[in-house]
A and B are shown apart, each in its own frame.
Chain A
């Protein structure tokens, strides 16, 4: 079981963490909300929780709670640019349906 970051995503996360000046890594999660049932959570992590599962990808510590992991196992996190906009993109092999905007999904 794992979550991986592309090289570009890892570089950006490290850069953001360095500029932010604190934080142990990146917290990824899933919560039940949104038009298609579930949505992603992407936050800075200031501490490691007791239940957290840790991965290291390209030097970045990724934290996830065990319940979320089931939905996002095998996922790749990428950082891309689309026109003026730029940000993180999840490539989740478990997803069956996405809402039009892609902000929520179902498995």
Chain B
């Protein structure tokens, strides 16, 4: 008979109606799957009892695919067909991938997302990730004895729309129903049960194999908000291995080693690092291809000294994240440690010293994200009723549209919690304008040219009206997975257009950081640029209005008046293209002054036309 699990009171599933759901940590280096069984979140192991599945996929000439350990073993033998760290390419264009030439893949620059040429054909990072998810799905279905209703998959908090969409696509390809994408730090906080803890601000320090992320989360009324994220996408546990490796070379007077020896020493270096977590010293032994033997003792203190600045490097993003969130160290109520590299005592000590408190380390840092995702999946699949909770995440960079003059109008500001929807009204710029181009941008700068373009679409069929009379409501909607939907609607006629933003490709985290830094550094320039552009737009509008008025009613003016207005217009046109917004402002004022009597004359004319042939008494009734 089937094996049963203990349910929460009143939540027993009917036969054949088990709502099996899993949480998946789709990592850069390793991936895991977890589920809630008998009320406890557990990681599901493979037949050999291994929890971690290396995020490595190998394509073979016969069309078959290997994923996990088997693929990892072939990494150095078949580097071009063995894809590691596909997560770094998800939703990215070739230009987003730093030092692509340093990687031994055959990249194909495809529109939207980079692709990889393998012996089995061109593969996208989405397909590669799907292979990893397929293995985890099969493992889960076997372990749970049935099909899954869905999965919660974790993504870094800084993942943009394109990267999130790519992750969802990979899940779909692997036959998984995505219940929700969840930010990794939020998942870690849930695993520690912080959602049931006292309200407050928590820091999640995630030092993985090759990446470092720090997130500041705020818990209030059972809701998690990501206040700030920061990190370094090229700093992780591997760098600590490399320090030991370099030390071994130096200590043994070794120079350029072959690939096999390098791999051997890196493996030994990693083992030494792990050994030093428990012991005060460790012995490193190896026999090189040349027959030379290495037998060196490494003391914990020496390792700490040589890796001191790596630890220090992680604290810089921590400071930036705190500054971004506008918080001091003393505001942090708890610190969660994630990632295998946080087992190192010197890392734990540095974090404890920085935050002036002992970080949470009692859950396995490799598994904590998957465990939290499983808890969330269990709730979303409907296996828990009483203490349902809602999770909120934030938008990493402001979303807005381009307005006249290439200016950015922010509609959803940075760090807004999602899901969210905001609307703003815009209008037409020219008389009789029947279409409007909506350009969706992401970034903090004032000028569109300095922001990232996400999408463009057109609203057509606006009834012809004078400039400024149409009312166009632009609505931005971001769903719980962080995907953006923009719609534009002319409220008078009801014409509508909308677009779901699957941006051509995403922003890299370093780019996000750079854009944020730029926006702070260029605040002054941006303000002036904005003032200038606004002044130019106003001037253009005024020139056009006067031009139209002259075309209709020049007869109301005498020669001198007309000449004066024309002179002022020429004066304004002359300064319009200069960068001097004060000069433009002066000329605008002059032209305005010059046209005051003209405007009055036109007003009188149209009033008398409307009132023509009527007596004052008629109007009063």
Chain A residues within 8 Å of B16, by CB: 34-35, 101, 103
A42 touches B4 (CB 8 A): yes
A residues within 8 A CB of B47? 83-84
* Most chain A beta-carbon neighbours within 10 Å: one of B1, B37, B142, B143: B1
Q: How far is the CB of A93 from chain B (nearest CB, A)?
A: 14
B144 at interface (Cβ–Cβ under 8 A)?
A: yes
Q: Mark B199-213, 1 if CB is under 8 A from A, else 0.
A: 000000000000000
A sample of 13 inter-chain contacts (CB < 8 A) reads A13-B6, A35-B16, A39-B15, A42-B7, A43-B7, A43-B8, A43-B10, A45-B9, A82-B3, A87-B37, A89-B1, A89-B4, A98-B1
Provide the A15-41 mask, 1 if CB < 8 A to any CB of B, else 0: 010011000001101010111000111
Are B142 and A43 within 8 A (Cβ)? Answer: no
- Name the contact of B5 in the complex, choosing from A27, A83, A87 (C-beta under 8 A): A87
In the assembled complex, the Cα of A26 lies from the Cα of B9 at a distance in Å of: 10
Which residue numbers of B lie inside 8 Å of A, CB to CB?
Answer: 1-12, 14-16, 37-40, 44-47, 139, 142-145
**Nearest neighbor of A92 in chain B, beta-carbon distance:** B1
Which residue in chain B gives the minimum CB-CB distance to A83?
B142
Which of A20, A46, A80, A83 sits near B40, CB closer than 8 Å? A20
A residues near B (Cβ < 8 Å) are 12-13, 16, 19-20, 26-27, 29, 31, 33-35, 39-46, 80, 82-90, 98-99, 101-104
Which of A16, A31, A35 contacts B6, CB < 8 Å?
Answer: A16
Q: Are A84 and B44 in contact (CB under 8 A)?
A: yes
**Separation of A103 and B8 alpha carbons in the complex (Å):** 18
Question: Quick check: A16 and B44 within 8 Å, CB to CB?
Answer: no
A39 touching B1, Cβ below 8 Å: no
State whether A33 and B14 are in contact (beta carbons under 8 Å apart), knowing that A82-B3, A98-B1, A101-B1 are contacts in the complex: yes
A104 to B15, CA, bound (A): 7
B14 near A87 with CB under 8 A, answer no
Which chain B residues border A86 with CB–CB below 8 Å?
A: 3
A34 to B143, CA, bound (A): 23
B15/A46 in contact, CB under 8 A: no
Given A83-B142, A84-B47, A40:B4 Cβ within 8 A? yes
Q: Give the residues in chain A near B5, CB-CB below 8 Å.
A: 42, 87-88
A-B contact count (CB 8 A): 90
C-alpha spacing A43/B44, complex, angstroms: 22
| Cα distance A89–B144 in the bound complex, in angstroms | 14
Please determine whether B12 and A19 come into contact, CB atoms closer than 8 angstroms: no
- Which of these, B4, B12, B44, contacts A87 with CB under 8 Å? B4
Rounded to whole angstroms, the CA-CA distance of A41 and B142 in the bound complex is: 23
Q: Say how far B406's CB is from chain A's closest CB, in angstroms.
A: 58
**Chain A residues whose C-beta falls within 8 Å of the C-beta of B143 in the assembled complex:** 83-85
Q: How far is the CA of A50 from the CA of B2 in the complex (A)?
A: 31
CB closest residue in chain B, given A87: B3
By Cβ-Cβ distance, the 5 closest A-B pairs, closest first, are: A102-B1, A87-B3, A34-B15, A103-B15, A84-B143
Query: B196 → chain A, closest Cβ, in Å?
Result: 10
Would you call B139 and A84 a contact (CB within 8 A)? yes
Chain B residues with CB under 8 Å of A19's CB are 39-40
- What is the minimal beta-carbon distance from B247 to any residue of chain A, in angstroms? 42
**A87 to chain B: which residues have CB within 8 Å?**
2-5, 37
Contact pick for A88, options B3, B8, B40, B44, CB 8 Å? B3
Q: How many whole Å from A50's CB to the nearest CB in chain B?
A: 16
Known: A85-B3, A87-B5, A88-B3. A39 touches B40 (CB 8 A): no
A80 to B142, CA, bound (A): 15
Closest to A36 in B: B15
Which residue in B10, B14, B37, B45 is a CB contact (below 8 Å) of A34?
A: B14
- Complex interface: chain B residues within 8 A of A12 (CB): 38
Assuming A33-B14, A85-B142, is B6 touching A43 (CB within 8 A)?
yes
Q: Please, how many angstroms separate the alpha-carbon atoms of A80 and B46 in the complex?
A: 17
Which A residue sits closest to B39, measured CB to CB?
A20
**Whole-angstrom distance between the alpha carbons of A43 and B47 in the complex?**
28
Chain A contacts of B3 at CB under 8 A? Answer: 80, 82, 85-89
A16: which of B12, B40, B145 is its contact (CB, 8 Å)?
Answer: B40
Closest CB in chain A relative to B191 CB, distance in Å: 13
Residues on the B chain within 8 Å of A99, using CB: 15
A44 to B37, CA, bound (A): 12
Task: Check B7–A44 contact: CB distance below 8 A.
Answer: yes
A87 to B143, CA, bound (A): 10
